[in-house]
Structure 1
Amino acid sequence: MSKHGGIAASTVPLLTPYKMGAFDLSHRVVLAPLTRTRSYNNVPQPHAILYYQQRTTIGGLLIAEATGVSDTAQGYKDTPGIWTKEQVEAWKPIVDGVHAKGGIFFCQIWHVGRVSNHRFDGVEIHGAHGYLIDQFFKDQVNGRTDKYGGSLENRCRFGLEVVEAVVDEIGAGKVGMRLSPFANYWESSDSNPGALGLYMAHALNKIGILYCHTVEPRMITFVDKVETPNSLRAMRDAFKGTFIVAGGYGREDGNAAVSSGYADLVAYGRLFLSNPDLPRRFEIDAPLNKYNRDTFYISDPVVGYTDYPFLSSVV
């Protein structure tokens, strides 16, 4: 029994410790990067301190919401940036808040390959979901005829150049990348996603980044989950660093993914959004709060953001 009277963490695969490069994780439940549209005028706000702190555990990995690194990178209203001094200064108390509770915080960047502040524990490059890098990857939307289009090698060139630029800036041991080779986000698909995923796994090995964070084939869009024979097993076997999976996982299949060696870590989005104490609930197999999709992207600094109850307040 744990000190809380629940199941001992060592009997729950998701709650076992893991060594990720220089980082000692106390469990394998990762906060996935979640756009919340509450960074007014692209500046992170003080209410984000509480939001991320609520989801912080000692030795837990959190990946911040997608963060733009130029004024042309933003695709949605009130998403955070990190290209101005004001934005960098606004991130600092958020990072400090996570660190104060013993958490490990990576900043997911999108659009280009530089980061402005080295106080973050690491950087995740957004190469998924049909955004800029993913548009280069996918042959159904990349119609270029230069060295960035056509062959698989050419289509992956831009994304790998971004990775190399970030690695040159902060070191490979602080860099991860998110990929969704099988997905069709924003009608961005590939005729041979398995080959694309394998190519990127091998290419990222050569660069030596810390982790590869890959979206399951069953998540063909942001919300649609389908049964599919496709698997990330080939990518997982090929990639030599930490392999993180995401895409509609719950407690049981998350435990199975870890215990079978299919994944090292499992990222949770909607469930972690609505259950700030998700690792604890997984530990004792407690009921989960239901998420309210209607409040995912509203601008309210509390509603649907920091008002989901903790287990102690409902039992």
Structure 2
Amino acid sequence: MPSLFDPIRFGAFTAKNRIWMAPLTRGRATRDHVPTEIMAEYYAQRASAGLIISEATGISQEGLGWPYAPGIWSDAQVEAWLPITQAVHDAGGLIFAQLWHMGRMVPSNVSGMQPVAPSASQAPGLGHTYDGKKPYDVARALRLDEIPRLLDDYEKAARHALKAGFDGVQIHAANGYLIDEFIRDSTNHRHDEYGGAVENRIRLLKDVTERVIATIGKERTAVRLSPNGEIQGTVDSHPEQVFIPAAKMLSDLDIAFLGMREGAVDGTFGKTDQPKLSPEIRKVFKPPLVLNQDYTFETAQAALDSGVADAISFGRPFIGNPDLPRRFFEKAPLTKDVIETWYTQTPKGYTDYPLLGD
């Protein structure tokens, strides 16, 4: 079986290792969601990852509701991403853009408009806004005649991603955001061709993926799912009945890879007693399968040894350890990240974590 340090072929690319960087929202863009110069240094520092998956990046003003998160719908945003992707490439890395529509999780305080969802609903808890944490707005149901416009937004974002120098894109269909809201029965109460039966609830995921593939090619298109457990008020009563067919559909489309965040009873994000579906999804999904959440070096290698995963993406360990693959290889201690600086707009806790030997 391969080790975490072995290369892996996916889509049009060969990653130099199987230690990938998971998407991590960090809030270092401008209030207009334009990437900033400091982001080039941050991502270049982490270019030893087999693949960097960018922080979630808004496909439209409607779909982006996180303060100071970047977008990719405007020419200004595309231009600002160019030196970031170039810095990663100059450092020998690969980088995919994660395409994000937050659905009902978009505060109107950030987007300036009412959020949309498969069905009218309100997310629980509080959302990040420019005025601190506030209750989420009540989302309106996305109309059937708006679906073509939504698909156009994904197409434009994918086209812009390549123009901005990204090697490919990952469609964010996880964590209780718009596509995930369509997939799961707790948030999708529609009675049209996008609701009810499993094939209807995964239809938006299929439509978006096919549109992105038609725009940039299947070898540059990936997807992220979170197939088990409740997250941000979104859950499915029988996840195996919807996510295994979704994975089979994506395998038939021959996407570059599928990334999955799986909840666990003792997980730090998405605690659940719903069993992990990766062993069953592995049986129907043939391209590379990349797992995420709470992995250590030892458990990551064990996942590769078992054959359930082809690579592992690490999130928080890459915040505090820009050179995580080297630290794993040399069995060096890891630096703990500081949660208080996750979403600030300064270099502190962003680009100042030391490299091994500094």
For the criterion TM > 0.5, the same-fold answer is yes
CA distance in structure 2 between the aligned counterparts of 1:279 and 1:98, rounded to whole angstroms: 16
Aligned equivalent of 1:236: 282
Alpha-carbon distance in structure 1 between the residues aligned to 2:52 and 2:24: 10
Contact 2:57/2:98 (8 A) holds in 1 = yes
The equivalent residue for 2:218 is 172
CA distance in 1, matches of 2:10, 2:226: 22
**AA of the residue aligned to 2:40:** I
Question: Which stretch shifts more, 105-114 or 133-142?
Answer: 105-114
Number of the residue aligned with 2:353: 308
Flag the 1:289–1:126 CA change in 2: closer, same or farther, 3 A. Answer: same
Opposite residue 85 of structure 1, the aligned amino acid is D
| Cα deviation 1:215-236 (Å, max 9, x = unaligned) | 1231898635567643411111
Q: Contact 2:161/2:169 (CA < 8 Å) preserved in 1?
A: no
CA distance in 2 between counterparts of 1:224 and 1:160 reads 25
What is the aligned partner in structure 1 of residue 40 from structure 2?
49
Q: Residue 247 and residue 282 in structure 1: after superposition, are their counterparts in 2 closer, same or farther (change >3 A)?
A: same
**Inter-partner Cα distance in structure 2 for 1:81 and 1:135:** 21
**SS in structure 2 opposite 1:218?**
coil
For residue 73 of structure 1, report the CA deviation from its aligned partner: 1.2
Matches of 1:183 and 1:46 in 2, distance apart? Answer: 37
The answer as to 2:30 corresponding to 1:40 is yes
Q: 1:35-80: CA deviations, max 9, x gaps? A: 00111120000000000000012x7210000111111111210100
Deviations 1:224-255 (A, max 9, x none): 55676434111112101110000111110011
Q: Partners of 1:136 and 1:221 in 2: how far apart? A: 24
| Letter of the 1:141 counterpart | T
In structure 1, the residue matched to 2:83 is: 93
Given that residues 219 and 248 in structure 1 are in contact (C-alpha distance below 8 angstroms), is that contact kept between their aligned partners in structure 2?
no
Give the Cα–Cα distance (whole angstroms) in 2 for the partners of residues 181 and 228 of structure 1: 9
Match of 1:267 in 2: 313
The residue number in structure 2 matching 1:209 is 255
Is it true that 1:106 corresponds to 2:106 in the alignment? no
How many angstroms apart in 1 are the aligned matches of 2:292 and 2:225? 10
1:191 aligns with 2:181: no
- Displacement of 1:210 in angstroms is 0.8
In the alignment, does 2:330 pair up with 1:284?
yes
3-state SS, counterpart of residue 185 of structure 1: coil
**Could you state the TM-score of these two structures normalised by the residue count of structure 1?**
0.91
Aligned residue identity for 1:47:
I
Matched, 1:70 2:60: yes
Moved over 4 A (4+): 219-222, 224-229
One-letter code aligned to 2:241? A
Q: Which residue of 1 aligns with 2:269?
A: 223
Which residue does the alignment assign to 2:128?
Answer: none
Is 239-248 or 217-226 further displaced after alignment?
A: 217-226
- Cα separation, partners in 2 of 1:260 and 1:18, compared to 1, 3 Å: same
**1:22 Cα deviation after fit:** 2.3
Normalising by structure 2, we get a TM-score of: 0.81
Conserved? CA contact 1:198–1:238, under 8 Å: yes
User: Cα–Cα, structure 1 residues 131 and 222, in superposed 2: closer, same or farther, change >3 Å?
Assistant: farther
Give secondary structure in 2 for the equivalent of 1:125: strand
Secondary structure of the corresponding residue to residue 13 of structure 1: coil
Match of 2:208 among 146, 162, 167: 162
Gaps of at least 5 residues in structure 2 are 102-152
TM-superposition CA deviations, 1:90-116 (whole Å, max 9, x none): 000000000001111100001252221
Deviation at 1:214, TM superposition (A): 0.7
The answer as to whether partners of 1:98 and 1:105 remain within 8 angstroms in 2 is yes
2:17 alignment partner AA: H
Distance (Å, rounded) in 2 between the aligned partners of 1:117 and 1:177: 15
SS in 2 for 1:186: coil
Aligned to 1:134: 180
The aligned amino acid for 2:11 is G
Q: Is contact 1:107–1:123 with CA below 8 Å preserved after alignment?
A: yes
Whether the 8 Å contact between 1:65 and 1:107 is mirrored in structure 2 is yes
Change (3 A) 1:145 1:127: same
